[in-house]
């Protein structure tokens, strides 16, 4: 019974094992198989009958020495269990998964085996093996691993590609910086030498060539700057300046700059600037100008006819900070327009609306992208709207700081009260321009009437209408503005001077202005003019404040002012490029400076040990020793801590300036060097505006007329630092040395020495400009141009004119010299004896070809700073520099004469 | 009184050194590379102390291989690794440098096998000394916080003050090669009171 029960239970258990879903093998203490379940039969292809009673080693001889047999031994002897993992024992037994293909092709089953000892009381210890098929798990894991490896490989590849791209990008930036330097160096030479050549009075044909080289060079420089700007913005290295600037002036200058281009295409350029705008803003004027220039340029470029309107107004939404203002700028054109699908692409770099436009219109395609980024730096937004064939509007907002200074409106509010209620007639054929002008004038309180032609204007006057002001466009259909003005003035001007006539010219041709003056037009303005400028000039007319015509504008007088500005100064130029040496030397020597040249930093250090200079101009990149190192050593080794050192570098990447200043340089000029900048920076550090000691005699100017025929005394005085004594002296010298120039010029012309005549005219023009001998200046200038352009028919009459002007100027000069001061003896700044001594020493040195002559000459210069920039002195200096002592000796008596000395 | 005398402690350490030596041989054979196991620290402490030491020297998350045994006496043997190290151990032993985020199923089995080999070596020595029949359960893989793993070991009286045999085991693989690596693990033997007195008896018999 017991046995039966036992055997029944045993049969049931055997059946359980037989059907188990894993391999089960039971070994007795002899390690013989006593149970081999159905799973094992399938996997091993051995029936239980075949396996039972045999040891595992007998069934699978390859198990000899295997971990499985050792584990079975441990379990049998000590009862210790074991687990055999797949990784360490991949396929312990030759078993195969139940795939439907033939056994030969099947891989072995991956197995996981547990071995445990079975302790049953009264029986020797048995060992049970449990075998799991993990083939699927293994292959899944393999796949997973492979995928992971692939992903990792891909990540590595991407990282590598990214690194490569970054390196390439850095290399590109470095390349750009280097290229900019490399390009700027020859550009410096090209622009510098053409400037010098233009100063050397080339003939007409060559002047034309040179000017074209110069303007092409500047265009090229702009392109390079664009590319540089772009890469700077890309690298996040562009910072905006924070300076005060005059918005109306900026816009006026901008409009004036474009007026010629616009006029050439017969495009009406309009400027809408409400007088309510702040006068001064804080921001980056150069960058603002850059954005506007770009937009206006595009507008003009893509507009074949019609108008371009530039407008500024406070933006609808203002920033929260009370010291900030947000302005909305817009540039609207009537051009070809841009299809909507291309509009968005416009602000991407290297893109133009239509790739084919590249060929039609040129350009890098960087401008708008740069503008967009700049606007964003100004916390603004750039927008564009366009209708093909009707035109485009580009607008942008930008934030600026406000300043304490009030608006122009408030400043002019009181003074412009005189205009309120006065009548004005606007004569312009362009409707937009009319509208803007009448709005501007209306905002000043004027009553405005508008007509579209000169004929209409005249008939209005003829009908008995009266206007205090006429604002006349020069370019009108039918009767042009100049003629209409002439007629209005001739026929309808009252003795009081009304109507005042302001002529708007598309661009400020000097010829037009001169003609306008002859006609009696009160003011000539470049069109478009900002509202504030119009108001200013109107006030000027009412208060009889003549604004110097542009013909004595900034550039010539500034040039004159540079002459001799650096005389007596000794400069060290450290520059390795020979052409650049020449350019800088000539620019500096033209200003009267003495220049010593070093080819690199090392040479400069050596030279500075033996000579004393007033300032150093230092190139940054040089062989042997660069500018940074040289500066550092000058400051430390030579202990020249106060010596002004000015960097001249073609490196245009931001940060150079900081780097220069950090090593101890005082200032920085970027190449290509602009003459004006060079002089300004030098003047700043050398303090060499002509020295102005307190005038020995403080003259009350009550006795002086503000002007004499041909002589604008006030302008002259202001140009010479309000020093009447100085003014008189210069006038006297002018009369002594140049009184006969008009005759000489006529003689030269008659003898066909045209070149010489031109040179002398040029000198005369410069001197006349300095003296504010306005008529003489104009006359000389006109003649110079006529001579240059070979307009021989006009020349005889102009020579007569020059004679007349000269006579008038001389007469006025004599009058001026009679005023009070003539009696005051001129006190030489040093003791007479010393001057005499120096003069004698100079004569001696020159006679004996002693090189001390240069030093003596410079001592004389230092003692007579006001004389030293005179022609005869400069010439002497030049001859001395060339060691041309024989010539210098001949000139010595002339020099002595300027000192009121005569040589024995 | 279940404290071990210093003689008994020395004797236990000697036994474990033997066992660990055998485990090293077995592992070397398995991975076909020299594996050195050393025991830099051996101590008989209570359970709380054991938890403290492991927490001090390892991460809060650990992986463990546990083998329970019963019969005349009850006990648990555990091999504990900081979880990150356990993976490292398997990879090092398998010579596998593929970094995977977590132990895969198959790798867990490998860790189980390695732990099983080490624990068997220790337990085999132990069983030999006590000369009595044990029932050993199959090894289990566990993970969790150290106190959880040690706390949930088989229900025994007086858990708090239960004495445990505690070893730190250094695995040194690829001793003279670039794959050289040392991985710290902890071997713990938790015994019930009767097991300890039985052990003391047998140890003292050996000494006598």
Among A380-389, A575-584, A690-699, the minimum mean pLDDT is found in A690-699
Candidates B30, B94, B136; nearest CB to A80? B136
Q: Which residue from A683, A645, A649 is spatially nearest to A664, judged by alpha carbons?
A: A645
Determine contact, residues B41/B167, Cβ cutoff 8 Å: yes
Q: Which residues on chain A are in Cβ contact (under 8 Å) with B107? A: 87
Higher pLDDT, A472 or A825: A472
B123 CB neighbours in chain A (<8 A) are 80
C-beta atoms surrounding A347 within 10 Å: 17
Give the residues across from B97 on adjacent strands.
Answer: none
Q: Given an 8 Å threshold on Cβ–Cβ distance, is B109 in contact with A86?
A: yes
3 state DSSP class of A129: strand
Asked if the model's pLDDT at residue A651 lies above 70, the reply is no
Q: Which residues pair with A711 in a beta bridge?
A: A708
Alpha carbons B62 and B69: distance in angstroms, whole number: 22
pLDDT at A774: 80
**A540-560 tens-digit pLDDT:** 888 765 443 333 333 333 334
The pLDDT confidence band at residue A508, using thresholds 50, 70 and 90, is low
Q: Is B97 on the interface with A (CB under 8 A)?
A: no
Give the closest-approach CA distance of A127 to chain B in angstroms.
Answer: 12
* Residue in A79, A138, A145 closest to B135 by CB: A79
Q: For A495, what's the count of Cα atoms within 13 Å in the CB-facing half-sphere? A: 0
Q: Which residues contact A266 (CB under 8 A, 6 or more apart)?
A: A305
Residue B117: is it exposed, middle or buried by C-beta count within 10 angstroms (0-12/13-18/19+)?
buried
pTM: 0.45
Quote the pLDDT of residue A722: 62
Query: Lowest-pLDDT range, A392-396, A619-623, A766-770, B9-13?
Result: A766-770
Strands A615-619 and A570-574: parallel
Minimal-distance CA residue of chain A relative to B134: A79
Instruction: Classify residue A520 as left (phi > 0), alpha (psi -120 to 50) or beta.
Output: left
Minimum Cα–Cα distance from A119: chain B residue: B135
DSSP A548-559: PPGGG-HHHHHH
Are A568 and A858 contacting, i.e. CB atoms less than 8 angstroms apart? Answer: yes
Q: Is the pLDDT of residue A144 over 60?
A: yes
CB contact under 8 Å between B29 and A67, yes or no, is yes
Angle at A556 (CA atoms; ends A553, A562), nearest 5 degrees? 125
Q: What is the pLDDT of residues A350-383, one digit of tens each?
A: 655 555 544 444 556 678 888 998 999 999 999 9
B 160-199 → A contacts, CB under 8 A: none
**Are the beta carbons of A81 and B139 separated by less than 8 Å?**
yes
Q: Do you find a cis peptide bond into A672, omega within 30 degrees of 0?
A: yes
Highest mean pLDDT of the ranges A12-26, A402-416, A659-673, B54-68: A12-26
pLDDT band at A749 (very low <50, low <70, confident <90, very high): confident
Q: What does the pLDDT look like over A521-543, one tens digit per residue?
A: 888 888 888 887 888 888 888 87
Give A415's pLDDT tier (boundaries 50, 70, 90).
Answer: low
Pairing of strands A645-649, A667-670: parallel
DSSP letters for A515-547 = HHHHHT-SEEEESS--HHHHHHHHHHHHTT-PP
Q: Which residue of B has its CA nearest to A84?
A: B113
Output the pLDDT for position B3. 74
Question: Which whole number is the average pLDDT over A128-141?
Answer: 90
Pairing of strands A23-27, A33-36: antiparallel
Q: Where are the beta strands (DSSP E) in chain B?
A: 35-46, 61-71, 75-82, 134-136, 140-145, 163-173, 181-191
Cβ neighbours for A833, distance < 8 A, ≥ 6 positions apart: none
Best CA proximity match to A866, nearest among A595, A567, A587, A589: A567
Per-residue pLDDT at B74 exceeds 70: yes
Tally of CA atoms within 13 A in the half-sphere of A378 that contains its CB: 33
Angle at A379 between CA A378 and CA A385, to 5 degrees: 95
- At residue A243, the pLDDT reads 83
Rg of chain B over all Cα atoms, to the nearest angstrom: 17
| B120 contacts chain A (CB < 8 A) | yes
Query: CB-CB: which of B98, B109, B113 is closest to A145?
Result: B98
Task: Flag if B106 and A134 touch (Cβ within 8 Å).
Answer: yes
Q: Tell me if B136 and A67 make a contact (CB, 8 A cut-off).
A: no
Q: Please name which of A668, A647, A671 lies closest in space to residue A583, comparing C-alpha atoms.
A: A671
Q: What is the mean pLDDT of residues A220-228?
A: 79
3-state secondary structure of A72: helix
Which residues in chain A are contacts of B106 at CB distance < 8 A? 85-87, 134, 137-138, 141
- Which residues from chain B sit within 8 angstroms of residue A137, using beta carbons? 105-106
Lowest mean pLDDT among A37-51, A646-660, B51-65, B82-96: A646-660
Q: CA A509, A512, A517, A518: dihedral to nearest 10 degrees?
A: 150
- CA A634 to each of CA A403, A607, A681: distance values in angstroms, whole numbers, following the listed order: 41, 11, 20
Report the residue from B106, B117, B139 with minimal CB separation from A141. B106
| Of A267-276, A354-363, B41-50, minimum mean pLDDT range | A354-363
Mean pLDDT of chain A: 80
Tell me what percent of the residues of chain A surpass a pLDDT of 70.
Answer: 85
- Supply the DSSP symbol for A653: S
HEC profile for A799-817? HHHHHHHHHHHHHHHHHHH
Q: What is the mean pLDDT of residues A317-323?
A: 87
Question: CA dihedral defined by B21, B26, B32, B38, rounded to 10 degrees?
Answer: -20
**Contact state of B113 with A84 under an 8 Å Cβ cutoff:** yes
The chain-wide mean pLDDT, for chain B, equals 79
Alpha carbon distance B11, B17 (integer Å): 10
Residue A484 makes CB contacts below 8 A (sequence gap 6+) with A427, A454, A455, A457, A458, A472, A476
A424-456 per-position pLDDT tens digit: 999 998 888 888 888 888 888 889 999 999 999
B10 has a chain A CB within 8 A of its CB: no
SS3 category, A150: helix
Best CA proximity match to A645, nearest among A613, A677, A673? A613
Nearest chain B residue (CA) to A115: B138
Question: By CA distance, what is B101's nearest residue in A?
Answer: A148
The CA-atom distances, in angstroms, between A554 and each of A245, A533, A549, A567 are 19, 17, 10, 22
CB contact B129 to A (< 8 Å)? no
Residues of B in contact with A92 (CB under 8 A): none
pLDDT > 90 fraction of chain A, expressed in percent and rounded = 17
Q: Cβ–Cβ of B138/A83 closer than 8 Å?
A: yes
Of A438, A65, A539, A507, the closest CA to residue A266 belongs to A507
Residues of A with CB under 8 A from a CB of B: 67, 74, 78-89, 112, 114, 116-117, 119, 134, 137-138, 141, 144-145, 148-149, 152
Name the residue with higher pLDDT: A249 or A81: A81
Distance from C-alpha of A57 to C-alpha of A75, rounded to nearest angstrom: 16
pLDDT tens, position by position, A654-699: 567 777 888 888 888 877 677 777 877 887 787 754 433 333 333 3
Max mean pLDDT range (A84-88, A178-182, A817-821): A84-88
Confidence bin at A389 (pLDDT 50/70/90)? confident
Of the pLDDT bands very low, low, confident and very high (cuts 50, 70, 90), residue B160 is low
Instruction: Tell which wins on pLDDT, A863 or A82.
Output: A82
Candidate from B93, B94, B137 with C-beta closest to A81? B137
Residue A3 has pLDDT above 60, yes or no: no
- Cis omega (within 30 of 0) for bond into A62: no
> How many Å apart are CA A789 and CA A798, to the nearest integer?
14
- Whether the per-residue pLDDT at A159 is higher than 90: the answer is yes
What pLDDT is recorded for position A822? Answer: 37
> A698: which 2 tokens?
């403080």
Mean pLDDT of A375-392: 90
The pLDDT score that the predictor gives to residue A545 is 54
User: A451 to each of A423, A424, B126, how far by Cα in Å?
Assistant: 14, 11, 121
Interface test with A, best of B109, B122, B133, B140 (most A CBs within 10 A): B109
Residue B110 touches chain A, beta carbons under 8 Å: yes
- Cβ–Cβ of A79/B104 closer than 8 Å? no
- Strand A615-619 and strand A645-649: pairing? parallel
The answer, yes or no, to whether residue A846 has pLDDT greater than 90, is no
What the block records as the tokens of A887 is: 């010539």
- Least CB–CB distance from B116: residue in A82, A148, A149: A82
Chain B residues in contact with A79 by the CB 8 A cut-off are 127, 133-136
Q: Residue B190 in contact with residue B75, Cβ under 8 Å?
A: yes
Nearest chain B Cα distance for residue A158, angstroms: 18
Q: Is the pLDDT of residue A157 over 90?
A: yes
Compare A851 and B144 and report the one with higher pLDDT. B144
Residue carrying the six token digits 């291309």:
A342
> Which residue blocks in A385-466 are alpha helix, DSSP H?
408-415, 431-443, 454-462
Chain A: residue nearest B132 by CA? A78
Coil, helix or strand at residue A416: helix
Least confident window among A714-718, A898-902, B203-207:
A714-718
Could A148 and B139 be called an inter-chain contact, meaning their C-beta atoms sit closer than 8 Å? Answer: no
Longest Cα pair distance anywhere in chain A, in angstroms? 166
CA neighbours closer than 13 Å in the CB half-sphere of residue A110: 16
ipTM above 0.95? Answer: no
CA–CA separation, A679 and A693 (whole Å): 22
Mean pLDDT value of segment A214-236: 79
The predicted-structure confidence for A764-798, as pLDDT tens digits, reads as follows: 777 777 677 888 888 888 888 888 777 787 788 78
Question: Which candidate, A429, A391, A387, places its Cα nearest to that of A305?
Answer: A391
List the single range of A6-10, A556-560, A766-770, B130-134 with lowest mean pLDDT. A556-560
Question: What is the mean predicted confidence (pLDDT) over A818-827?
Answer: 46
pLDDT at A865: 65
Q: What is the CA radius of gyration of chain A?
A: 47
Closest CA to A819 of A720, A725, A716, A714: A725
**What pLDDT score was predicted for residue A132?**
92
Report CB contact under 8 Å: A119, B113: no
- Its sign, for the CA torsion B8, B9, B11, B16, is positive
Higher pLDDT, A158 or A278: A158
Residue of A nearest to B126 (CA): A78
Is there a contact between A603 and A575 (Cβ–Cβ < 8 Å)? no
Given a cut of 80, whether residue A4 has pLDDT beyond it is no
* pLDDT value of residue B208: 59
Residues 6 or more apart whose CB falls under 8 angstroms from that of A187 comprise: A217, A220, A221, A224, A650, A671, A672
Substitution target from A76, A85, A138, A153 for chain B, most B beta carbons within 10 A = A85
What pLDDT, on a 0 to 100 scale, did the predictor assign at position A412? 53
Query: Quick one: pLDDT at residue A104?
Result: 61
Whether the ω angle into residue A656 lies within 30 degrees of 0, i.e. cis, is: no
B68 neighbourhood in chain A, CB within 8 Å: none
């Amino acid at each position: 019974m017991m046995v039966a029960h036992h055997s029944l239970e045993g049969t049931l258990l055997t059946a359980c094992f037989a059907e188990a879903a894993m391999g089960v093998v039971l070994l007795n203490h002899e390690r013989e198989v006593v149970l081999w379940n159905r799973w094992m039969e399938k996997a091993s292809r051995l029936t239980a009958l075949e396996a039972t009673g045999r040891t595992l080693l007998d069934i699978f001889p390859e198990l000899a020495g295997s971990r499985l047999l050792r584990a079975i031994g441990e379990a049998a002897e000590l009862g210790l269990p074991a687990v055999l993992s797949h990784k360490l024992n991949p396929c312990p037994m030759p078993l195969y998964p139940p795939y439907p293909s033939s056994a030969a092709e099947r891989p072995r089953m991956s197995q996981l085996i547990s071995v445990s000892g079975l302790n049953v009381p009264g029986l020797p210890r048995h060992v049970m093996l449990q075998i799991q098929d993990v083939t699927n798990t293994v292959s899944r894991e393999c796949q997973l691993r492979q995928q992971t490896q692939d992903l990792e490989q891909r990540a590595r590849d991407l990282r590598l590609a990214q690194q490569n791209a970054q390196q390439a990008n850095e290399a590109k930036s470095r390349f750009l910086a280097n290229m900019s330097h490399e390009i700027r160096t020859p550009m410096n030479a090209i622009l510098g030498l053409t400037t010098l050549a233009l100063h050397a009075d080339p003939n007409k044909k060559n002047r034309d060539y040179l000017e074209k080289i110069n303007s092409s060079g500047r265009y090229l420089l702009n392109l390079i700057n664009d590319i540089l700007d772009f890469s700077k913005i890309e690298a996040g290295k562009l910072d905006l300046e924070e300076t005060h600037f005059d918005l109306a002036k900026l816009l006026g200058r901008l409009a004036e700059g474009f007026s010629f281009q616009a006029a050439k295409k017969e495009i009406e350029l309009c400027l809408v600037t409400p007088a309510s705008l702040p006068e001064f803003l804080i921001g980056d004027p150069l960058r603002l100008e850059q954005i506007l220039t770009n937009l206006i340029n595009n507008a003009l470029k893509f507009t074949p006819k019609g108008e371009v309107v530039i407008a500024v107004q406070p933006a609808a939404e203002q920033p929260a900070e009370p010291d900030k203002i947000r302005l909305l700028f817009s540039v609207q054109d009537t051009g070809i327009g841009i299809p909507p699908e291309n509009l968005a692409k416009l602000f991407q770099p290297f893109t133009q609306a239509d790739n084919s436009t590249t060929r039609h219109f040129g350009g890098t395609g960087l401008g708008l992208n740069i503008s967009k980024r700049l606007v964003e730096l100004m916390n603004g937004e750039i927008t564009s709207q366009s209708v093909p064939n009707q035109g485009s509007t580009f607008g942008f907002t930008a934030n600026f700081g406000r300043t304490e200074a009030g608006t122009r409106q408030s400043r002019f509010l009181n003074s412009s009260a005189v205009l309120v209620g006065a009548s004005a007639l606007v004569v312009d054929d362009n409707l937009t321009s009319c509208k803007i002008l009448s709005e501007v004038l209306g905002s000043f309180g004027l009553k405005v009437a508008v007509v579209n032609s000169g004929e209409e204007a005249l008939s209005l006057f003829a009908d008995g209408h009266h206007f205090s002001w006429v604002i006349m466009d020069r370019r009108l259909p039918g009767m042009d503005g100049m003629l209409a003005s002439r007629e209005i003035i001739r026929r309808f001007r009252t003795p009081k001077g009304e109507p005042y006539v302001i002529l708007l010219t598309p661009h400020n041709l000097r010829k037009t202005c001169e003609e306008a003056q002859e006609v009696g037009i009160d003011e000539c303005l470049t069109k478009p003019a900002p509202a504030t400028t119009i108001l200013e000039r109107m006030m000027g007319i009412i208060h009889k404040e003549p604004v110097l015509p542009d013909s004595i504008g900034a550039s010539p007088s500034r040039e004159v002012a540079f002459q001799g500005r650096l005389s007596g100064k000794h400069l060290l130029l450290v520059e390795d490029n020979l052409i650049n040496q020449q350019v800088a030397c000539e620019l500096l020597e033209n200003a009267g400076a003495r220049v010593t040249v070093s080819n690199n930093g090392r040479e400069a250090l050596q030279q500075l040990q033996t000579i004393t200079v007033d300032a150093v101009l230092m190139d940054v990149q040089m062989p042997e020793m660069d500018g940074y190192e040289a500066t550092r050593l000058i400051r430390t080794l030579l202990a020249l801590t106060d010596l002004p050192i000015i960097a001249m570098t073609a490196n245009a990447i931001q940060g150079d300036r900081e780097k220069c200043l950090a090593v101890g340089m005082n200032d920085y000029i970027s190449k290509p060097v602009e003459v004006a900048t060079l002089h300004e920076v030098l003047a700043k550090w050398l303090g060499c505006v002509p020295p102005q000691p307190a005038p020995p005699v403080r003259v009350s100017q009550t006795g002086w007329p503000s002007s004499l025929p041909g002589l604008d005394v006030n302008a002259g005085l202001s140009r010479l630092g309000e020093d009447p004594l100085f003014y008189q002296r210069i006038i006297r010298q002018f009369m002594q040395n140049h009184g006969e120039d008009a005759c000489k010029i006529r003689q030269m012309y008659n003898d066909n020495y045209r070149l010489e005549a031109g040179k002398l005219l040029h000198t005369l023009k410069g001197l006349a400009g300095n003296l504010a001998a306005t008529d003489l200046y104009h006359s000389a200038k006109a003649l110079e141009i006529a001579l240059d352009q070979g307009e021989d028919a006009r020349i005889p009459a102009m020579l007569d004119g020059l004679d007349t002007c000269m006579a008038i100027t001389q007469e006025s000069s004599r009058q001026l010299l009679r005023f009070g001061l003539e009696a005051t003896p001129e006190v030489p700044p040093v003791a007479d004896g010393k001057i005499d001594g120096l003069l004698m020493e100079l004569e001696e040195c020159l006679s004996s070809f002693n090189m001390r002559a240069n030093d003596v000459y410079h001592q004389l210069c230092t003692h007579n700073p006001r004389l030293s920039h005179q022609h005869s002195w400069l010439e002497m200096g030049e001859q001395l520099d060339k060691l041309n002592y024989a010539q210098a000796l001949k000139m010595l008596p002339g020099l002595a004469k300027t000192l009121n000395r005569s040589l024995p | 009184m279940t404290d071990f005398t210093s003689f008994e402690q020395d004797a236990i350490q000697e036994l474990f050194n033997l066992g660990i030596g055998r485990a090293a041989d077995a592992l070397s054979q398995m991975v076909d590379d020299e594996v050195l196991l050393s025991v830099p620290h051996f101590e008989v402490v209570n359970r709380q102390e054991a938890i403290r030491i492991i927490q001090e020297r390892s991460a809060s998350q650990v992986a463990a291989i546990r083998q329970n045994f019963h019969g005349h006496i009850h006990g648990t043997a555990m091999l504990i690794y900081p979880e990150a190290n356990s993976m490292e151990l398997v990879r090092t032993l398998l010579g596998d440098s593929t970094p995977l985020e977590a132990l895969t199923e198959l790798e867990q089995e490998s860790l189980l096998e390695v732990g099983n080999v080490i624990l068997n070596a220790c337990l085999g020595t132990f069983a030999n000394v006590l000369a009595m029949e044990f029932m050993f359960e199959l090894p289990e893989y566990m993970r969790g916080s150290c106190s959880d793993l040690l706390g949930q070991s088989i229900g025994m009286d007086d858990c708090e003050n239960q004495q445990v045999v505690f070893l730190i085991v250094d695995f040194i693989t690829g001793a003279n090669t670039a794959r050289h690596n040392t991985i710290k693990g902890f071997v713990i033997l938790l015994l019930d009171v009767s097991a300890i007195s039985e052990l003391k008896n047998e140890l003292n018999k050996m000494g006598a």
